[in-house]
Structure 1
Amino acid sequence: MKIATALLSLVLVPVAAFAQTAPQVALSQEEAAIVARVEANFDDSITFLENVVNINSGTMNHEGVREVGHAHTEPFEALGFDVDWIEQDKVDRAGHFRAMKKGKTGASLLLIGHLDTVFAKDGDFQEWRRDGDRATGPGVVDMKGGNVAILYALKALDDLGLIGDANITVFMTGDEEMSGKPISKSRKDLLAVAKSADVALNFEGGAKGEVVTSRRGASGWTLTTTGVRAHSSVVFSEEVGAGAIFEMGRILNGFYEALADEEYLTFNPGVLVGGTDVMYDETATKGSAFGKTNVVAQKSVVDGGLRFISEEQKEAARAKMREIVEAHLPQTGAEISFQDSYPAMAPTQGNMALLEIVSDVSEDLGQGPLKGNDPSKRGAADISFVAPHVLASMDGLGPQGGNAHTPDEWLDVPSVKDATARAALLIYRLTREDAPRFAEH
């Protein structure tokens, strides 16, 4: 295993760094045994996956989400983890599954999954179906397959007595697909465990030859413009000015001209209503407007989204947007507000160093090298909340499939074994006494 020299220069947390170990180019006897154990447990892992896929756990089916969570309780307790269920009734969500094993060797790991899917209890897509190496079912790759990779990676290590004195927390949220609000409450417990971890690994569905080293953050913005209501025959006059809709057009075009070419930054005005009388429901993101072609528009509202690669990029974009908003057309006004949602998972030094280690694991398993992703191709996820608080983070470590969030969601069944073996070896290498490790925070 080649340990990245960049590990010696991590700067995400003061005085924290990986230590170097001797290079390793092939599987050790213990590692070969781990892979064999994953193989031996493979059929059981697919049976377990089939069982949990057949439990509907659409985010708002609280009973189903809890049932999927509780299905993991006994298996994790059998591995020596302390398991609890964190209720989230105050944000109208089912809750989160947490399993913890306290230890001192190697890096402190946080392994992340989620129990919920986008498929409602009364929908048509409810069952696991398998045809050879291909399986379909709600959440089969997003992300019950990833949850199974976590469980059976740890089981392979436990079967061989190799978890040892590792410090590992498994956290599976019950509302990843539709987070409870406010975020400060629904992600409070996830953030708490993140702040005591060194490395966070998320097991959303993977892609061949690639893992996720960065994700863009997501936030919202609402822009309201006002104008003087008057007969259109006097529009542009000194007394009436341009009206609310012209002011809205000026601002949106200003955003486009100033920011559209910035790498990894996107902003989208998704809903627009304007006219004489305007009603807009921000929660439902829908509205109505009344106006006439011979009346100057009095009000206009746009609701939009903003995606960014770092907090610095987000704040710089917001500052520019505010600047553009403030330069009004005659007799108009405008106000913009911003709403935070998901932070960015930036492509940090730590993530790049971790990528080298994971890629080495993949190559040693014969799965080929891995590269980091293009962040513009990935949306936000629970790892986004965690990434700013750990020294290194990674996502996309689950099995491969496609068509997530659709009734055609599918899983490449053999890739469950590949993802499990990779996870098991990665956990093993990061939690050994002589493994790459982090200094005390």
Structure 2
Amino acid sequence: MILKPFAFAALTLSMSIAGAAQLSPIEQKIVAEVKAHSEQGLQLLERSVNINSGTMNHEGVREVGKLFRDQFDQLGFKTRWIDMPASVQRAGHLVATREGKQGKRLLLIGHLDTVFEKDSPVQLWKRDGDRVRGQGVNDMKGGDVIIVEALRALQRVGALDNTTISVMFSGDEENAGDPIEVSRGDMVAAAKRSDIALAFEATVRNKEGKDTGTVGRRSSSAWELEVKGKQGHSSGIFTETAGYGAVYEAARILDGFRQQVIEPDLTFSPGLILGGTETGTDDTGTKGQAAGKTNVIARTAVVKGDLRYLSYEQRDRAHAKMKAIVAQSLTGTSASIVFHDHYPPMSPTPGNLAVLKVYSQASADAGLGEIPALPPGQRGAGDIQFVAPLVDSLDGLGAAGNGAHSPDEDLEIASIERATIRTAILIYRLTR
């Protein structure tokens, strides 16, 4: 495994801080500022959630971007909105920066969009005691608020002075614009000017009920299987002349994947399958049609699925095994498979673990408990994966909630303050 450029620096930094037994006087003031303004943070979250910002609701994404841009302007950051080319069909991204000469250069990552488009029947904001439900409340407007409120606490005690911090809130994390080189080009460029990246997707609770940190995330990629058979009378199936048909061959291949390609942190899921005498999909590749008769051997089959892996070495092993299975055709059939990479993997490097160590110590010193690493196989893809190959990275610094992407998405209100305290102390220690 190749260590990223700042891995050893992060390790040294973590060891120098790990001995801290309590908060310093300035850190105590930071915590007091967070607690004193928790209600303000909750109000900001409510305002953001009450604006629909489904990825394809470009106007809504920009409106949420303006709301957060105003916050960063108040904090003395230099802000700008990056429009995407019309061909990318996405709203754009919010960037806020400040420059200084002390400590680590940080990149803080959030996103403005949600999976709930403008016509979604899912409610916006609804508070129920110590929890709140709404569109994107934990994925990830809660995380965006945590970034703002942590920086606000630091600013109030003068701890932002002379620091270098970049913030990027993407407008299309839930459905990244194509080509990726364009839609994530500015984020990659920001990472190249940074030492450490912190992302604020919702934290995931482990079996013991503890908040965790994400040091690794699996890639998101896709595969397409195309199978051909001999069309003919169904009474001849299994014979040397007629063969097995496309549907049996597709079934053989999928079962071969299930039995032979399994290894830890690797998954492959067929999400769409069509078979018959004729098949076809629409331009999006998410809908299709098939025609066939029970007394006719299927001539064609198509399967589309995803593949998630933790390293490129794991990907290459999976590709090789899957291709070998595809090549073992049943009589009278043939098949081909192609792969498409989307999100790169975020491998759990020593540098990432070192950043988690600093974060965990900050949490423990604040009386909020240590933060264990979440097993990488338990998270899907996220924006931080585009920058993790370049800098030491940590994700999962956001709020705690349930039901992301569903009508039941909610958030534990107390987790906003808890995560804001941890984040503010972490940023303070990294930028000293």
User: TM over 0.5: same fold?
Assistant: yes
Indicate the residue corresponding to 2:5 in structure 1. 13
Q: Equivalent residue of 1:192, what SS?
A: helix
Alpha carbons of 1:389 and 1:90: their partners in 2 closer, same or farther (altered >3 Å)? Answer: same
Indicate the residue corresponding to 1:132 in structure 2. 129
**2:222–2:305 CA contact under 8 A, matched in 1:** yes
Indicate the residue corresponding to 2:200 in structure 1. 203
Q: Which stretch has the larger CA shift, 32-41 or 114-123? A: 114-123
**1:56–1:126 CA contact under 8 A, matched in 2:** no
Q: Distance in 2 between matches of 1:27 and 1:129?
A: 36
Q: How many Å apart are 1:389 and its aligned residue?
A: 1.6
Alpha carbons of 1:297 and 1:196: their partners in 2 closer, same or farther (altered >3 Å)? Answer: same
Indicate the residue corresponding to 1:438 in structure 2. none
Residue 181 of structure 1 is aligned with which of 174, 178, 182?
178
Q: Distance in 2 between matches of 1:210 and 1:101?
A: 29
Q: How many Å apart are 1:98 and its aligned residue?
A: 0.5
Q: Deviations over 1:336-381 (max 9, x none)?
A: 0111111212111111111211110110011111111122322111
Indicate the residue corresponding to 1:50 in structure 2. 46
Matches within 5 A, 1:53-132: 53-88=49-84, 89-132=86-129
| Structure 1 residue ranges (4+ consecutive) displaced by more than 4 angstroms after TM superposition | none
State percent identity of aligned pairs.
50
**1:10–1:17 CA contact under 8 A, matched in 2:** no
Indicate the residue corresponding to 2:152 in structure 1. 155
Indicate the residue corresponding to 1:439 in structure 2. none
Q: Equivalent residue of 1:184, what SS?
A: helix
Indicate the residue corresponding to 1:217 in structure 2. 219
Matches within 5 A, 1:309-324: 309-324=310-325
Q: Distance in 2 between matches of 1:292 and 1:279?
A: 16
Alpha carbons of 1:273 and 1:81: their partners in 2 closer, same or farther (altered >3 Å)? Answer: same
**1:119–1:125 CA contact under 8 A, matched in 2:** yes
Q: How many Å apart are 1:126 and its aligned residue?
A: 4.0
Q: How many Å apart are 1:238 and its aligned residue?
A: 3.8
Q: How many Å apart are 1:263 and its aligned residue?
A: 0.6
Q: Which stretch has the larger CA shift, 130-139 or 173-182? A: 130-139
TM value normalised by structure 1: 0.91
Q: Does 1:395 align with 2:395?
A: yes
Gaps of 5+ in 1: 1-8, 433-441
Matches within 5 A, 1:238-277: 238-260=240-262, 262-277=263-278
Q: In the alignment, residue 413 of structure 2 is paired with which amino acid?
A: V
Q: Does 1:29 align with 2:28?
A: no
Q: Distance in 2 between matches of 1:143 and 1:173?
A: 11
**2:3–2:349 CA contact under 8 A, matched in 1:** no
Q: How many Å apart are 1:127 and its aligned residue?
A: 3.3
Q: Which stretch has the larger CA shift, 235-244 or 399-408? A: 235-244
Q: Distance in 1 between matches of 2:234 and 2:414?
A: 67
**2:7–2:351 CA contact under 8 A, matched in 1:** no
Q: Equivalent residue of 2:269, what SS?
A: strand
TM value normalised by structure 2: 0.92
Q: Distance in 2 between matches of 1:295 and 1:15?
A: 61
Q: Deviations over 1:212-240 (max 9, x none)?
A: 12211111100011122223344344443
**1:274–1:297 CA contact under 8 A, matched in 2:** yes
Q: Equivalent residue of 2:161, what SS?
A: coil
Q: Equivalent residue of 2:59, what SS?
A: helix
Q: How many Å apart are 1:114 and its aligned residue?
A: 0.7
Gaps of 5+ in 2: none
Q: Distance in 2 between matches of 1:93 and 1:40?
A: 37
**1:280–1:301 CA contact under 8 A, matched in 2:** no
Q: Distance in 2 between matches of 1:286 and 1:125?
A: 23
Alpha carbons of 1:240 and 1:156: their partners in 2 closer, same or farther (altered >3 Å)? Answer: same
Q: Equivalent residue of 1:125, what SS?
A: coil
Q: Distance in 1 between matches of 2:134 and 2:240?
A: 63
Indicate the residue corresponding to 1:411 in structure 2. 411
Q: Equivalent residue of 1:141, what SS?
A: helix
How many residues align? The count is: 422
Q: In the alignment, residue 367 of structure 1 is paired with which amino acid?
A: L
Q: Distance in 1 between matches of 2:412 and 2:174?
A: 22
Indicate the residue corresponding to 1:306 in structure 2. 307
Provide the aligned C-alpha RMSD in A.
Answer: 2.0
Q: Deviations over 1:47-80 (max 9, x none)?
A: 2222111111111111111011011222212222
Q: Deviations over 1:122-159 (max 9, x none)?
A: 33334323243222222221111111110111111111
Indicate the residue corresponding to 1:437 in structure 2. none
Q: Distance in 2 between matches of 1:414 and 1:293?
A: 58
